[in-house]
Amino acid sequence: MPTASDFERLLRGASLRVTAPRIAVLSAVHEHPHADTDSIIGVVRQNLGAVSHQAVYDVLRALTGAGLLRRIEPQGSVARYEARVGDNHHHVVCRSCGAIADVDCSVGAAPCLDASDDHGFVIDEAEVIYWGTCPECTTAAKSS
């Protein structure tokens, strides 16, 4: 797990000012991958004390814009954030409980970047979401 000074380096590398809320948000997302905004606010407040929700929203947007965080929002879920960026991995989402897990790309680094007919669009990213049932929910469904 990276330390506060690692996060500071990340921020400076992105030409962002180093502030306590930013360090705390980065740290929270590293510790809790796929956490929603509310949980992140909770974790940040545990570490820093009072922090406005607006600050967290701002920080999340700044960090996402700078490429330090990635925002994901599967249908029916609120926005979630993760710190694993730049490796083009995907996600599998449980239809039953909403759990999210990481999935490496099965076809190499930048997989399905060719659509069969792209309608003239210039495509720069392919985002894949696998839908299914997580082990816990599968077990629960069988036993019921």
Strands 90-94 and 70-72: unpaired
Number of residues that make up the chain: 144
CB of 118 to a copy of itself, least distance (A): 6
122 token code pair: 């210039």
Contact 17/11 with Cβ under 8 angstroms? yes
116 binding a copy of itself? (CB under 8 A): yes
Measured from the CB atom, is 66 or 128 closer to a copy of itself? 128
CB of 52 to DNA, least distance (A): 3
To the question of whether residue 94 is assigned a binding role by annotation, the answer is yes
CB of 15 to a copy of itself, least distance (A): 22
Measured from the CB atom, is 16 or 126 closer to a copy of itself? 126
47 token code pair: 């570490």
5 class by beta-carbon count within 10 Å (0-12 exposed, 13-18 middle, 19+ buried): exposed
Q: How many Cβ atoms sit within 10 Å of the Cβ of residue 77?
A: 13
Answer with the entry of DNA, a copy of itself, none that 51 interacts with (C-beta below 5 to 8 A by kind): DNA
Measured from the CB atom, is 9 or 136 closer to a copy of itself? 136
Annotated binding site for Zn(2+): 94, 97, 134, 137
